[in-house]
Amino acid sequence: MERGQAHVGVASVNQTVGDWAGNLGRMQEVVHAARARGVRFLLMPEMCVSGYSLGDRLLRLGTMERAWAATLRLAECTQGMAVAVGLPLWHDGVVLNAMALLADGRLAALVAKENLATGDVEYENRYFQPWTHGRLVEHRGFDGVSAPLGTQLLHLSGLGTLGFEICEDAWKGLRPGSVFALAGAEILANPSASWFCMGKHQVRRRMVTQISHEDHCVYLYASLLGCDATRLVFDGSTFIAANGQVLSEGRRFLFTESWDLVDRVIDLREIRQVRMEEGSWREQHTRLQSGAFGPEPVLTRVEGYFGTEKQAPAPAPYWVPSPAKHLDPSLAHLEDAALVGALRPEDLCHLELELAICLGLRDYVAKAQVPALCLALSGGRDSAMVALLVHRMLCYEHPGWDASALAKEVKRRFICAYLATENSGPVTRAAAAGVAAEIGAHYYDGNVQPVFDATLGVTAQMLGYPLDWQEDGHDVPLQNMQARLRSLVIWSVANLHRALLLVTSNKSEAAVGYTTMDGDSSGGLAPIADVPKSLVTLWLAWARGFHGYASLDAVLVQEATAELRPPERAQTDEADLMPFVVLDQLMFAFVQLALEPLALLQRLWPSMQEIYGGDLAAFARDVRKFVRLLCQAQWKRERFAISFRVSSFDLDPKTGFRFPPVQAPFTEELEAMDRWVSAQLG
């Protein structure tokens, strides 16, 4: 029997779609760093050769050729070790989501994904062919280099036997990894491109722990890092687990480095001992041999020796308690590391949200070579959140800088403007100025009232009558006119500074179309478009305490308002719509849970009775209003700027909520709801 010591490593890498030279260079850096540590098997993420978010670049033969060539180039630097990397693979006229095992300077084997991720933001069935479990063939590349492709176990002499399950393969009840484990795989490798959403890291950790326990194996998990194209943000989760315990966990949300690496020496004899002792394991192994789980995977022996002379660390004493559940070692590298160990669950939620948006924003700016960012700072909550996220991004990007150097960088790269009309109040003006001053942004205080007056004059000349707030049908055009004039000015400011204009619209507004197209919806990137208004308020209150942004006191004391009507006709967002806590719950239940209007009403009414004072008819009116507005607003969502996915569902029609822009807005369903309400009210 072999010595049983396996030195394994797992890496996250921040790649860019189509950056073939840069992607290869980063992977080579990781390989060299792993070799310096003595790693003999290194796992890198799914599709890390090309970047994951290729879209229709996957349908170009040139993409397949470059990915193959880059993979073989990487193989040249793997002498004395084995490295697994993900790439798109062209085989028999179809594209596969594949992993290449590079060993001792050559291509040794290829494995393809069996369960494609399709649904929600994933669209892998558009591009990839799923691999049939049990199939093994010889693949020959463009240049004649060949390797076995398909369902196989890979034996690395001196290290052990390993099997692959690629990302989605591990999230299915019938996992290929379980069969591989029963067939003799002691190491299961899961290369992923798992995008971030709030709370998902804890789910991953539980999954990795559970699989390593159930399959009595070493479980290696790698994921991409950063924003490789747009929309999806990868937090860079990496794990090394064995027998139900996470032994090593990598850093997430790296701003100043393009990759991370964790490694561990593991004693595989512990795995073998547990399997030998457990009766149910032997029973399932017998069933595997009888064909109950399909054909046994073929064992491919990889040329070379991959053993180590290092010894696995001694296990901790069994009486030592596990770390507190709220401790997240993947965030311990942050500047706020002293606070990370004491995070409450709500702290972790808000900090992850902040980090994901900041990382996506940083990568978008860096990879698109954007020199500066611009924002219309209204003094309200949404624009305050966007402004602070830009500031936090720059803080994370330059963690070692002193306050003076950071302030100069913020002023150089972030431009804000307050754009007043006669309907703007001193409270919002002061709040906007306070936020800009605290973060050090380049700030303009502007007045667009003269432009508004001139536009009203031109409109009156054309129509033959003036627009009047007292006239039916004039209210919305007068509001929208101000928003669009502000857009004209802030776009000009952004152009003069060669800056990317940021949109401040939130998810709740997107749901019901509470935005002026070509007005406050203007811009190239919408950082908080997947953040509901209720969470905006919660995050701001948290950031006030956690980061100490004192200027938020003036923002949070106000009711949310667009300030587009005269003071005597004062408006608030919730008066125009409904309480945001209601709107956000309706949005979740209608979009994510797919509840029909009547089921929506019945499901949520018990939790809404207190808000509505027991008035079921009033709640039903808001349900009707929400459904109607959501259906009518789809055309607006089709035109929204690019945004980052950070929650369990989004409204982006290109990646999330694909809803028809023209439809009957649930007319019959709403009528059924109204009949039920009438029956309840007698």
Q: What is the pLDDT of residues 587-596, one digit of tens each?
A: 999 999 999 9
Q: Binning pLDDT at 50, 70 and 90, where does residue 337 land?
A: very low
Q: Which of 116-120, 404-408, 485-489 has the lowest mean pLDDT?
A: 116-120
Q: Binning pLDDT at 50, 70 and 90, where does residue 282 land?
A: confident
Backbone phi, psi, residue 367, to 5°: -75, -25
Question: What pLDDT, on the 0 to 100 scale, is given for residue 230?
Answer: 81
For the chain, domains (ranges, CATH) are 5-312 (3.60.110.10), 323-568 (3.40.50.620), 578-682 (no CATH)
Cα dihedral value 592, 596, 602, 607, nearest 10:
30
Query: Is 50 exceeded by the pLDDT of residue 338?
Result: no
Closest CA to 193 of 9, 46, 23, 43: 46
Asked if 466 and 393 touch (Cβ cutoff 8 Å), the reply is no
**Full DSSP string of 403-460:** HHHHHHHHHHHEEEEEEE-TT--HHHHHHHHHHHHHHT-EEEEEE-HHHHHHHHHHHH
Closest CA to 390 of 368, 367, 372: 372
Mean pLDDT, the chain, whole residue set: 94
Question: What pLDDT, on the 0 to 100 scale, is given for residue 293?
Answer: 82
**H/E element, 513:** none
Q: Binning pLDDT at 50, 70 and 90, where does residue 311 land?
A: very high
Asked if 176 and 169 touch (Cβ cutoff 8 Å), the reply is yes
The CA–CA distances, whole Å, from 402 to 326, 328, 334, 395, 423 equal 30, 27, 16, 10, 40
Question: What pLDDT, on the 0 to 100 scale, is given for residue 244?
Answer: 93
Tell me the pairing of strands 499-501 and 372-376.
Answer: parallel
- Helices and strands (H and E) in the chain: how many: 22, 25
Closest CA to 432 of 470, 376, 491: 376
- Average pLDDT estimate for 618-635: 97
Give the number of C-alpha atoms closer than 13 A to the C-alpha of residue 407, restricted to the C-beta side. Answer: 7
Question: What pLDDT, on the 0 to 100 scale, is given for residue 327?
Answer: 62
Query: Is 80 exceeded by the pLDDT of residue 137?
Result: yes
- Average pLDDT estimate for 542-561: 95
Structure tokens at 473: 């049908």
Query: Is 70 exceeded by the pLDDT of residue 287?
Result: yes
- Average pLDDT estimate for 75-100: 97
What are the strands of the beta sheet with 442-447, ordered from one edge?
442-447, 414-420, 372-376, 499-501
Backbone phi, psi, residue 293, to 5°: -110, 20
Q: Binning pLDDT at 50, 70 and 90, where does residue 139 land?
A: very high
Q: What is the pLDDT of residues 339-357, one digit of tens each?
A: 555 677 788 899 999 999 9
Structure tokens at 32: 């060299």
Tell me the pairing of strands 218-222 and 187-191.
Answer: parallel
Percent above pLDDT 70 for the chain: 97
